[in-house]
Amino acid sequence: MSFLSTPIDLVGTVSVWDAQLKRATNSFPIYSNVEVYVGRDQRRCNHVVDDPVISNIHLRIYTIIFDRENPDEVAPLVYAQDLSMNGTSWNGYPMGKGKESFLLSDGDVLRLSPKLSLHFRCAVQGKEDCFDMLQMIEMRVFEDQYSVTPQKLGSGAYGQVHMAFKKDTGQQLACKIVDLRALKNKVVREAEDQHSRHFKEDAFPPNRNRLLVTRAFKKSLQRKIQEKLDVYSREARILESLCHPNIISIEKVIESSNTIYLFQELVTAGDLFSYIQYKGGKLDDIEAAVIVRQVLMALDYLHQREIVHRDLKPDNILMTSLADGCRVVLTDFGCARFVRPTVERMSTLIGTFDYSAPEMLKSKQGYTKAVDLWSLGCVAAVLLTGDIPFKNSLTTDPTDLSRERDLEKLEADMEWNKIRQRARDLVRKLLVFDEAKRIDVKQALNHNWFTNPSHRVEFEALYRRAIRGWKPRTHKGSLISNLGSLIKIPEQDSAPMQTLCSDGYSRVDSGQSYAAEEIPYQARDSSTPPVSQEYELCRGHSASMSTTLSDPELPPHCWVGHADTRPPGHPHRNQDRDCFCPDPLEFILQEQSSHMQTFSAGYGMT
């Protein structure tokens, strides 16, 4: 379904629940391009509620669409912001007045007062099977700390980004899930194709040559896999070392041999690309200057630490608000790397073509941190003109002559759009073919677009206001953990160990097989002795599960190990889930061992 099929698109429905009457009294729709204000003020609120505890303007509900041209990639994201005096809760967690907005998922409950609550339902349901079985098992290991929801925020070549939240505070996060298995499989497939072509070209090599080639292939394959894995490990380690208001803040990284779970701050107003669309396709000089200056602040921080981003583009710049002068955040450090000053040049062709510096194509020559300044020049041009200056030039005609023609067109576009001289001058100095003549980040920050006497004080004041609500990370110690280190192994005398038998069922020492539906759920309070981890895995739901979840049956909280006993028609029933879900520790260790055995056997490494 396309969300742009009608001028105003329905993205959800909110029901007003009366606790005294124990029923919904009415409901109202949420549309993609209409902000909804809830409160007692009849003049300023779209939906008026009559309750003395509720503020005149109590709650704001709005929608962010990431890509209006491809709306089915990520569904519209509906947010709620608490504006009240007495407070609002999201699924039992306090939202806090003036704090970041909360992303709403299907089934969420917003409690406005002891009497009234709002129940949110999405107009279009997302996919339920967004996590595979192994990921759901891995998530059970850290489910007491973080809950990863099916709410999709984005996707990439080897994974997806989902909304998550901390179980103790309810703080919402973005969780980037990198599927290392898919990455390894792609490397293996490409290597196999290359290996096969080699033998086809040399149809009957001597046995000795064939053996040497095979050995070389094995070593090359191992090296390529490790290089790919190092890229994603490097992203986590770079982010762990950073703390700046204009750079995405990392909360936690959990790694296994199969998956990386990267938890980072949830930025609630979409990316710069969607912001440009929201603004009508382009920005005026002052609006563009505020954003470009903040990105330069982030690049200055990175370049001082000898880090180059290498993939600067509107999609990787996030907006904390749709209001003018909001804080902007640089994200996606998958292409970033450390460089040694003055002596090291990079040569990898990486990033996004439309925003890549010309020297990145000349791999023999290599390139430096200056590539980030070229990319920023492209971003600035997009902000000012609404068009990418070097669209498709790399793929159709990757020459300096082609780009010179594009620069001439850009000059004409800026003149046509009546871009002021200061802004045009900065763009020209950023989009210089010779990196040695291109201005660096310090020179760009001191450019008179930002430092002229009539605007300098205003820009500095705007920046202070933009970052006013930002708080530096206070976490001490490493933010990166191995999944295995988080598994709580029970004491031997606390319960018999659960084992995975050849028939695929879990058995305890007595030999009895347990199914989720055979053991009734019994809620326990703090006075009840804790139940062993093995016994908990036989339950339909964990007894320690938070009661404030939007829907306790959403992945990864549902029991996927046995036939689904929920009634037909239940929104989360899945007839296909009839497989056993073993103990997380045992399964993860088995999966790792099996993967290594298969990999080794397949290439003669055993």
Rounded Cα distance, 66 and 64, in Å: 6
Q: Do the beta carbons of residue 534 and residue 541 sit within 8 Å?
A: no
Rounded Cα distance, 66 and 42, in Å: 32
Residue 150 CB-density burial (10 A; 0-12 exposed, 13-18 middle, 19+ buried): buried
* Residues ≥6 apart with Cβ < 8 Å to 9: 3, 31, 32, 33, 76
Q: Do the beta carbons of residue 354 and residue 361 sit within 8 Å?
A: no
* Residues ≥6 apart with Cβ < 8 Å to 503: none
Q: Is 271 a catalytic residue?
A: no
* Residues ≥6 apart with Cβ < 8 Å to 183: 158, 228, 229, 232
Residue 491 CB-density burial (10 A; 0-12 exposed, 13-18 middle, 19+ buried): exposed
Rounded Cα distance, 121 and 109, in Å: 10
Rounded Cα distance, 118 and 121, in Å: 10
Question: What angle do helix axes 285-304 and 456-466 make, rounded to 10 degrees?
Answer: 70
Q: Is 166 annotated as a binding residue?
A: no
Phi, psi values for residue 189, rounded to 5° = -60, -45
Q: Which among 311, 332, 564, 583 is annotated as catalytic?
A: 311
* DSSP of 147-208: EEEEEEEEEETTEEEEEEEETTT--EEEEEEEEHHHHHHHHHHHHHHHHHHHHHHTSS--HH
Rounded Cα distance, 273 and 145, in Å: 33
- Establish whether the linkage from the previous residue to 567 is cis, with ω within 30° of 0: no
Residue labelled with tokens 């004409």:
412
* DSSP of 84-136: -SS--EETTEE--TTS--EE--TT-EEE-SSSEEEEEEESS---S--S-HHHH
Question: What angle do helix axes 207-240 and 180-201 make, rounded to 10 degrees?
Answer: 150
SS3 67: coil
Rounded Cα distance, 320 and 266, in Å: 9
Residue labelled with tokens 């790397």:
337
Q: What amino acid positions are annotated as catalytic residues?
A: 311
Feature table: binding site? 184
Feature table: binding site for ATP? 184
